[in-house]
Structure 1
Amino acid sequence: MAALELRELRKTYRSRGRPAVDAVRGLDLSLEPGELLGLLGPSGCGKSTTLRMIAGLEAVTGGDILVGGASVAGRPAQQRNIGVAFENYALYPPLTVAENLAFGLKARPRGRRGDVSRKVAEIAERVGLTDVLGARPAGLSSGQKQRVSLARALIREPDVLLLDEPLSHLDAAQRDTTRRELKRIQRDLGHTTILVTHDQEEALSLADRIAVMKDGVIQQLGTPYEIYDSPATTFVADFVGEPSVNLLPGVATADGHARLSAGVRIALPVPVAEGRAVVVGIRPEDLSLTGTAGIPARVVAHEPLLESGIATLALDGVERLLVALTGPEVRLAHDEHVRVAAGLTHVFDAETGDSLR
C-alpha cells in the first residue's frame, strides 16, 4: 500500500489552428494508503484524463504525481508500479485466462517475476477465476472478462490500483454482483485505489471518499454521506441522487423563507438576506404528502414502483415540476389535489450555484 498525491495536476491539449483545451485544471488530491477514492463526473469532465496521467499513459502538462512520497510524473508507464483495469478489458484474445494474467509478469526482468504460476493461481482463486484459467476471452461472460482485467492489474502487486469505469459493460445483475466482489477484493488486499465512474451508485456504494468533477475541476470532495447530504453546489446536488434533487428558484424573504411564486413559500435552512436570488434544493425523499398542512399541489403523474412510488407534482405559479417519493401504499390519480411538505432543504446562491449553508 502507498499513499497517492496529486499536486496542481494539469492537462492541456493543443492542436494547430485550434484553441487550447484545458481537460484538467490544477487538481489537488491526497489518498491515504488503502483508501478507495471515487472520481465521479459526467463524460468529458477530465476524470479519465486524470487516471491516464497517473498511469503514465498521458503526459502531464503541469503539476506533480507522488506515489509513496516519490514523484512519478516524469517516469514512463512501465516504471510506475501502477495497475490499471480498463473499461474495455484490453485482454489478449489468443491467450488463455492464465496466459493473460501471466503476461505482464513474464515481461519483467527474471529477478522481478517471482513464481509466476503460483501468483496466477493465487490471484485466480482470490477473484473467482480458477475454473476458467484454460479458457480464452471469447468464451467468457462480461463479468468474467471484467474479473480477468481486474486480476491482471492486481497480480502486479501495484502501489496504486486504477479502475476505469469497471462495471460499465455489465448488465444490472452482473453489476450488483461484481460491485460487491470488487469491494471485498479491495478491502482484503488494501490497495490504494481510484475508481473512475460516471455512475453515482457505483461511487456511493464503493468509495471511502468521492471527488465530483466538472470541466476539469473538483466541485466537492468528501465522504458519500457528505456529498449526498451536504452538496457544495447545485451541480453536485443534481448529479448525485436518483431521482434527481428538485431545484426551485426563488427569492429570500425577511421572515426566513424563499418565495417561489405569489402563493408558494418554503422555509430556508439558514438565514439569507432579504431579496437575494436563491435556489432551493429538496431531495424527493425529503418531501411528504400530507392531509391538510403543507403546500397545495396537483398530481401530474404517479409511478407506483412496488417498494415506493414517484409522484410528479405541479405547484401553483411555479414553472418547475416537483418530484416526490411516496410509500408503496399510496395511490394517486392524475390531476388529484394533494398537499406536500418539505423536510430537509438546501439553499444555493442563484448566480454562483454555491451552497449557502
Structure 2
Amino acid sequence: MTGTGLELRELRKTYRSRGRPSVDAVRGIDLNLRSGELLGLLGPSGCGKSTTLRMIAGLESVTGGDILVGGASVVERPAQQRNIGVAFENYALYPPLSVAENLAFGLKARRKAARGDVDRKVKEIAERVGLTDLLDARPAALSSGQKQRVSLARALIREPDVLLLDEPLSHLDAAQRDTTRRELKRIQKDLGHTTILVTHDQEEALSLADRIAVMKDGVIQQLGTPYEIYDSPANVFVADFVGEPAITLLPGIADGDGRARLSDSVRIALPVPVDEGREVVVGIRPEDVRLTAEDGLPARVVAHEPLLESGLATLSLDGVERHLVVLTDPEVRLAHNERVGVTADPEHTHVFDAETGDSLR
C-alpha cells in the first residue's frame, strides 16, 4: 500500500450564528504533503487543528479554499466518496460487534468486496496491527490500547488514499502511549499512507512526524521538521509551546554590542546583531545552560529537583524577575539559596522581537 499526496490551498472555516459574531476557526492555511509523509498538526485546544482534519475528511463544510488528493479536488465530494480513513479520539467502535465484525463493517456497508475478500482483508490488517488473537473479542473486553489499534485498523482496512488520526493516544496511560506510539510509527512506515496526526502533545508530534505544522488561532505559525521546529522556532509561541522542560523567555534590551541587558547587572550574549535599544525576548532552553564556578552570570538557587537521569534547577538571576530553568547532570546537588554562576552558548540562544514575537535569527 502507498499513500497519495495531499494539498490544502487557502483552506478556511468560519462559523456563523444568527445574532452572534462569526468565528474564524481556520484562517486560510496552505499545506502540501508528499506521498507517504506523516505530518503532525500540533497546537493547543481551540487552535483549529481538529476542524482542519474534519474538513479534509468531509465531515465539516468548507468556507473557502480547496482540498486536493492526488492532485484532484475533493472539496465537493461527500465524505464517503473521498477514500479517506479516520481514526477518532473516542474509538467509535460498535459494542455489540466483535473486533472482526467491527473491522469488516465498513467494507460490507460499502459493498466494496466479496465475502471471501472481506475475511482475507480482516485477517491481513489484524496481523499487521497485532489483533489476530482478539478478533472474536467484543470492545468491552479490550484495553484502551487494544481499542485504539482496532480503531486504527478499521481506518486502514479500506486502503485509504489519506489517513487522518485525531488525538489517537490521548486516552492511553504513559506506558500504553509509548508502546502504541512505536507501533503506530511502524505501521505507518510499513504501509506508506499519507497521514495527518492531530495532537496537542508535543512529544507525540516530535517522535512520530516527518514534519510538524504548529497552529495557533487558526493559523500555521511554523512548518518544518521536528529539528527545525525545536532548534529554530519562528516565534515566541512556537518556542514556548514546543519543548519539555519549557524554554525560559527573558525580556531585555539590546545594548548594540552583541548583548542584551536583562537587568542592571545581567547581560547576555545574543546570536545575531540587534540594534541598540530594541526590546527583545531572549529564549534559552534548559539543556543549553551550563553551571560554572567562575565567569558566569550571577544566580541563586530557588529549587533543585534530582530526576535520576538528570536534574532540574530553577535559578534567580540578579535583578531579573523571571526564573531561569537549567538541566543539570545527575550527580549535581544544589542547596536552596546557594550562589552559582551560569553560562549560555550564544549559538543555542534564541532572540525574538518583543513587539511582534518573531525570531530575529
Name the TM-score class by shorter chain: over 0.9
**Which residue type is aligned with residue 46 of structure 1?**
G
Task: Give yes or no for the alignment of 1:277 onto 2:279.
Answer: yes
**Which residue type is aligned with residue 288 of structure 1?**
R
Which residue, out of 319, 325, 347, partners 2:351? 347
Correspondence for 1:52: 54
C-alpha displacement of 1:254: 1.8
Which residue, out of 20, 29, 32, partners 2:22? 20
**Aligned ranges for residues 71-150 of structure 1 at < 5 Å?**
71-110=73-112, 115-150=117-152
C-alpha displacement of 1:111: 5.7
Q: Secondary structure at the match of 2:169?
A: coil
Distance 1:110 1:52 in 2: 24
Structure 1 ranges of 4+ moved more than 6 A: none
Q: Secondary structure at the match of 1:235?
A: helix
Correspondence for 1:331: 333
Correspondence for 1:38: 40
Relative to the length of structure 2, the TM-score reads 0.98
Correspondence for 2:360: 356
C-alpha displacement of 1:112: 7.8
Distance 1:254 1:202 in 2: 40
**Aligned ranges for residues 186-197 of structure 1 at < 5 Å?**
186-197=188-199
Correspondence for 1:177: 179
* Bigger mean CA deviation after superposition, 288-297 or 214-223: 288-297
C-alpha displacement of 1:345: 0.2
The CA RMSD over aligned residues, in Å, is 0.9
**Which residue type is aligned with residue 194 of structure 1?**
I
C-alpha displacement of 1:109: 3.0
Matched-pair contact (CA < 8 Å) for 1:300–1:314? yes
Compared CA separation, residues 348 and 327, structure 1 to 2 (3 A): same
Distance 1:112 1:74 in 2: 29
Task: Give yes or no for the alignment of 1:247 onto 2:244.
Answer: no
Query: Percent identity, aligned pairs only?
Result: 85
* Bigger mean CA deviation after superposition, 82-91 or 105-114: 105-114
**Which residue type is aligned with residue 33 of structure 1?**
S
Relative to the length of structure 1, the TM-score reads 0.99
**Which residue type is aligned with residue 19 of structure 2?**
G
**Which residue type is aligned with residue 197 of structure 1?**
T
Q: Which runs of 5+ in 2 are unaligned?
A: none
Matched-pair contact (CA < 8 Å) for 2:312–2:326? yes
How many equivalent pairs are there? 357
Matched-pair contact (CA < 8 Å) for 1:105–1:113? no
Compared CA separation, residues 324 and 131, structure 1 to 2 (3 A): same
Which residue, out of 200, 209, 212, partners 2:211? 209
Matched-pair contact (CA < 8 Å) for 1:310–1:324? yes
